[in-house]
Amino acid sequence: MRRTALPQHHEVSINGITMHIAEQGKGPLVLLLHGWPESWYSWRHQFQPLADAGYRVVAPDQRGYGATDSPEDVDQYTILHLVGDVVGLIHALDEKQAVIVGHDWGAPVAWHTAQLRPDLVRGVAGLSVAPTPRSRVPPLAAARRRFGDGFYQIYFQQTGVAEAELTKDVPTTFRKILAGIGDGPLVAPEGGGFLDRMANPETLPEWLTEDDITAFADQYARNGFTGGLNWYRNIDRNWELTTPWQHTQLTPPALYVTGDRDVVRGFYPPDFLENLPTLVPNLRAVLDLPGCGHWTQQERPDEVNNALLNFLQTL
């Protein structure tokens, strides 16, 4: 019987911060970028299959998360910093290119890296969050008009408010976000908090265990939630900084994976899947998983792994 290997953990110095990474396998580099509020651990089901297929799989704790440094200043979390971290990580690993896979917030980082540095990107895959055209007005103003002041991205702008709510009981926070998020709009009730409309399930779904909840909670013991929330606090700044690249297409080969119960689907127009090729002309495949919610690679690991491996084989 073949023994299942475990990722190896180490640190690399990138752009003035120390970044923790998990790594397994040898071969062409595949970077796995997590979202909020997650860590390298959200890719636990992807390491072995990709490594077995002949790839070097690296999943960092991104800037402000887990065991990676969390700079104090809010403006140290712009999309240019985050893309810069990916570029720095590729070079720190002595590689010239990578396939970049991102989920949730990791997806915009992956898409923007492919857009800004296509020379470094052999292929790009986004899970849950799709590339979108640049809005005509600052994104937070558009979100406020559409969803109101209770929309989670607006709520997260208040420094210290979301932190206090999320850190009050960290295991319960993760139970609610991972297992109770549902597929409705992420809008807090008037006078309430982000978690107030989420269920606290007595029984976890099959894809999530109590050990998983403990792992995420333990990883947030070092940096807390501020670093990840600071990504949201740069949404409008990112809109300003990326002005020079508006109308620039994503040219590397691409894959998009989504679920029809993903809460993010409510942010997009009904025809967004059909219109993706206008932004991503080399879109190789789209996988729309029936019954899948937001935590794509954790909820449906086998189908996600197969999609990634099929995509990698086309490169």
Q: Which residues are catalytic?
A: 104, 294
What the block records as the tokens of 221 is 């013991």
**How many Cβ atoms sit within 10 Å of the Cβ of residue 187?**
17
What the block records as the tokens of 189 is 């009730």
Report the Cα 288 to chain-centroid distance in Å: 17
With beta carbons less than 8 A apart as the criterion, state whether 56 and 90 touch.
Answer: no
- Closest among 108, 139, 151, 104 to 262, alpha carbons compared: 104
Residue with tokens 């970077």: 31
CA distance 100 to 31: 5
233 contacts: CB under 8 Å, gap ≥ 6: 74, 77, 156, 157, 159
